[in-house]
Structure formats: structure tokens, C-alpha cells
Amino acid sequence: MLGPPPSPHPEDTVSARLSRRSLLVGAAAIAVAAGPLASVARAAAKTPKVLVIGLDGTLLKRVKDADAPNLDALMAGGLTAASPLYANPLAPTLSGPGWSTIITGVWPDKHKVKDNNFTGSNFTQYPDFLTRVETAKPGLGTYAIASWNPITTTVFSAKVDTRVNTPSAEYDTGTTSRLVAQLASGSTDAHFVQLDGVDEAGHEHGAASQQYLDAIHAVDGSVGRFVAAIKSRASYGNEDWLILVTADHGHTDPGGHGGSSWQERQTFLIANGAGISAGSTRYDIKMPDVAASALAHLGIAIDPAWGLDGRPLQQPSPDAFDALRPQLQTPVDESGIGAGVIGFTHTPPAGWSVDNSAMGTGGVTEWRGWSFTTDEFWTKAERDQQRESNIRSRNVFAVADGDEWSDKTFTGSFDSTLVSPAFPVTGGRAATLAYTTYYRQEAPQKGEVLVSYGGGTPVSVKTYTADASSRTESITLQVPAGVSTAQVRFRYTGGNNWYWVIDGVKITAS
């Protein structure tokens, strides 16, 4: 049962406790995941409401091991998505950066929170999602409550209608009771709650312990009370509720987080509400999607000027690479990834090709030329070389990795070109080439983007010879008259250097 927090442990510092707050933000992300389009359709008849539930330090795989009937029911009736985090140098897997990412809808390179002290935070430019609700629709009621107070005192602004700091003596028990009362009879529309018990158990006993499973059972009881309170409302039949459940980080089996291991980098999103397919699974969800999804469900249009990294879960945008997931293979030469982990293929999607005519021979099989892979597979190939900072790619993405390829005997150099299909364009008009990229440089390595118009000679439109953080590039193309197609080439040359990531490629005609 939930009760007062256990005595402080070595990591129970301001930083550690901020870490536990990240989960709540994640809950908001799941609520949004219900889907903006479906929400708009329902808005005419029902009033949209959002509840984001943050379960600090909770591992999805352990939820499935625990006695957690209420979370199981939300998953069975909605969407479940595992999602990886970043690691240093972008930010450690602590609650401060985690909750800030979930609540603001942007990654740490924008909100600037790198620790649990929130030093240098940029919440003025990137405020919490409840503050955006207050700005866009001041008539809506907003409510935030947390067992870990920095979430409500620091991440959420004073513009939020109600911010509750649960007294430490009450801990999760008080947080639960207060929110239950609010949900049952209050008039608020957007809610955020964070529970801390699982993270405490993780620090004290480790994620592999029975105590950790018991803590999941306890917070599951709170989740059940939240759902029951919502359904008990006299106005429930006229309301459209989106419930999102998430976490700010994972835990190691012995206990603790902040590092770059796969378990520490784990979070998840459970979304339940009208328009969400029961028992569905997604692979494209990221932490910033929580805020974007909640806003979309409430009928708030996301202004591109806000610079959000999240996108509404209700508006998925798969690309050609994502279709390769069923074809992904287990490791061949890579010994540290894990024999059962699927995650790479050299076979491009329909319409795409890879030109390896100038590629060296030998090397590590998985990375010979452009490969199509996932975050889990690629980051496990070699931890702590900043692959964890590839935050803006989703699901399956393309990688040219000369560093990993060179880890086995090879001849020649790395010279591989990823070739897109021919996109339709209008001759004599401008077009926009957009793609997500992440590039780490070491000379004489080079990345070059070339465009061929109407099957003509490719011309260079962008060259990478210096580090480029994870970002979305947008390049204006001047399409020659009389041309109706444009084809993109991504050529990576180097050797035992670093890597280049490409995802979400598209050309939009003006």
C-alpha cells in the first residue's frame, strides 16, 4: 500500500526527485495520443477532457509482470507504445529533463533542463502544455498535482489554475485522494498527476525486485481510482476523455537511473479514449508527443512558431522506412546487441535504392553501406558515442555508420549513396526538400545531399563536414522549367569515422 516516502537513499537528492517527476508529463503525452482528428469530430457532441498520469521510474516490461489490472485494462482498450530516451551529453536519464520534455513538448536541447536543479531552464520560450491551454483557451480549467513538488512549483507555471504540492507526509496517498476528489466533482478540463512510489521502490530495491512489482500494483490502484472517479461524474456521458499514462525514465535491475543503459532509457505511452484502436501498438511515439497530443485533443491548434518537437499521436505520419519493420533482422557480426534483438536490414523500401558500387569490402555486416535500423539496435551497437542523441528520428531510420563498419577487417573506404524515389514537382516553381538528420563528423568524412531533376545530373544542395545535431532540415529547391520529378541522393564517404542518420524524407511542390 502507498504511504509516506521511504527514507532518502543515496540518489534521493533534488536531482533524483526531479527525475521521478518526468513520468507525469509522459502521462499527458499518452492522453493526447488519442488523436486530434477524432477529437475534432467528437467535439461537436462532447466536451474534451484530458488526464495525464505520470508513473515515475516505471518500466513497461515490469508493468506487464506485475499485478496491474487497471493499467492492463487501459492497454487492452487503447494504445501502447514503448519509447526510448536520450542520454548524455544531451541530458542524463533523470526526472528533471524527463518531465520537462514530456510537459513542454520539446527535447532538452530546447528546454535546456540538464539536471534535477533545472539550472538554465528555458520555460519562458517553451512553457508547459497547461500554460499553453490557458493562453489559447483561458476558459478551460487546468489542474496539476504531484508527489514530487518541483513539477508543480518549477515546470508548471503560475498561469495554471491549480497547482497542488502534496505534503510529504501524505505522499502518493494524498496525491491520489486529492485528484480523485477533483476528477469526481471538479469542473477542470486538463489534468496532470505524478506518482512517485515506483521510483522510490526502484531506488531502494531495484527494478528486478518484488518490491518494485508491489509498488506498480499500488500505483495501479491509484489509476483505477482515477478512472472510476471520471466515470462517476454526472456529466461523464457528455464528455470525451483522453487518458495518457507515461513515465520519465526507467531503472536498472539493481536500482538507479541517470545513465545510458537501455533500461534506464526506457519510457512508454499508454493512451485510452474514443477513436483509439483497442489493443494497438505504435513504434513512432516520442516523449514530446504527450504535450502535443493533449493540446490537439482539447482542440488547440499547434502553431509552428512554438517550435514543438512533439506531434499529436492522433495524427501519425509514417514514412517509407517505417514499412521495413517486419523485415528487420537479428544481429550478424554485432555481439553486444543481443541475439534476440531485431533491428537492421539492407533492403530498401519500395522505390528507394542503395548504391554501393564504390563501397569498400568486408567490415561489420550490419553497417556495410546505408542500413535501415532502429534506436534500440543502433544504440546497443556501441553505447556512449552519442548515438542516443538521435532524438528526432522515429521508428525505422537510415544510417551510414563508418565507425561501426570499421570494427571488423575491411578494405577500401566507406562510400555509399541512399537514393530516393522520384518525387513529383512543378517545373519553374520552387519546391521544399525536408528530412530529419543527425550527423557526427570526423575528417575526412563527408555527407552530401544531391538532387537530380528529371533524371538529369545530380547537383549538390547541402554538404555536411561538421557536427550537426538532431534536426529537421528544410531546403528550398529551384526546379528547372519543363521538369516534373526530383530525386534525392544522400552520399556518405569516409572510413573509421562517425555516422549520418536520415529519416522522414519528402519533397513538397509549391
Of 288, 271, 302, 259, give the one whose Cα is nearest residue 101: 288
What is the per-residue pLDDT across 181-220, written as a single tens digit (0 to 9) for each? 999 999 999 999 999 999 999 999 999 999 999 999 999 9
| Residue-wise pLDDT tens digits, 223-272 | 999 999 999 999 999 999 999 999 999 999 999 999 999 999 999 999 99
Q: Whole-model pTM?
A: 0.90
H-helix or E-strand containing 383?
none
Residue of 15 and 478 predicted with greater confidence: 478
Strand, helix or coil at 389? helix
**pLDDT given for residue 82 in this prediction:** 97
Does an H or E element contain 413, and which?
none
| Cα-based distances in Å from 276 to 30, 38, 115, 288, 385 | 11, 9, 35, 19, 37
CA gap 313, 249 in Å, rounded: 20
Q: Are strands 446-453 and 459-464 parallel, antiparallel or unpaired?
A: antiparallel
pLDDT exceeding 70 applies to what percent of the chain? 91
Share of the chain above pLDDT 90, in %: 90
Integer Cα distance of 146 and 148 in angstroms: 5
Query: For the chain, how many helices (H) and strands (E)?
Result: 14, 21
Structural domains of the chain ordered from first start: 14-306 (3.40.720.10), 320-509 (2.60.120.260)
Confidence label for 44 from pLDDT (cuts 50, 70 and 90): low
Q: Which three cell numbers stand for residue 498?
A: 562517425
- CA-CA-CA-CA torsion sign (294, 296, 298, 303): positive
pLDDT band at 495 (very low <50, low <70, confident <90, very high): confident
Query: Given its phi and psi angles, is residue 80 left (phi above 0), alpha (psi -120 to 50 degrees) or beta?
Result: beta
